Amino acid sequence: MATGEIRVKVGATIVKENCAMDIESAVSKVRQSFGARTPDEVDTILRAVHMRRKGERELSDMNDRFKDFWIALETLINMDGRIDHIAERIENALIQLYESNNPGKKYKVKSGYEIILIKKERVGQIHYAIENTKQLSQLKAILDDIIRSEVGLDHRGYAKQYLEEKI
């Protein structure tokens, strides 16, 4: 049997093997997750997926790419109706995601990778060219993990490099 990767529009790997049972299981998890959500929540998640994909396609303008990823993250984080402390809530969502998959472990964002730093540096100065491609990669990794979580799939550890265990 041939093996490979299957990618969905969010760019996240669903299965490691190209077999019907793995694909069916992943699709079933997404359907079940969406079935337990309100239509507004599903629309919000799909809008975030659209913005993430739009950012992925944007290759010529790093500012637009950054904005697309940031808007997608904000969209997911604001599903609870709150619109304050976005950067802090993004970090908390990421930490909670990893802690829930690793019972007993406590995480924090590594020094220098705090979302608040990205927000302060980039959102306030969005019209300047984004020179730090590492920040784009970080946002994309966090977004991919959070999207996977929101659609009912396990994260793939894309953003783990930005976390460290609390001592």
Give me the DSSP letters along 118-159.
HIIIIITTTTS----HHHHHHHHHHHHHHHHHHTT----STT
- Say which residue, 3 or 53, is predicted with more confidence: 53
What's the pLDDT score for residue 13? 44
Burial class of residue 80, CB neighbours in 10 A (0-12, 13-18, 19+): exposed
The model's pTM is 0.79
Residue 165 to residue 144: CA distance in whole angstroms: 21
Minimal CA–CA distance to 91: which of 114, 73, 66? 114
pLDDT surpassing 50 at residue 7: no
What's the pLDDT score for residue 121? 72
What's the pLDDT score for residue 80? 86
The string of pLDDT tens digits covering residues 80-126 is: 888 888 889 999 999 999 999 888 999 999 998 998 888 777 655 65
pLDDT surpassing 70 at residue 5: no
- Say which residue, 136 or 14, is predicted with more confidence: 136
What is the number of other CB atoms lying within 10 angstroms of the CB of residue 137?
Answer: 15
Residue 20: band (very low, low, confident or very high) from pLDDT cuts 50, 70, 90: confident
Minimal CA–CA distance to 146: which of 45, 53, 56, 66? 45
Percent of the chain with pLDDT over 70: 82
Sign of the dihedral through C-alpha 100, 23, 144, 45: negative
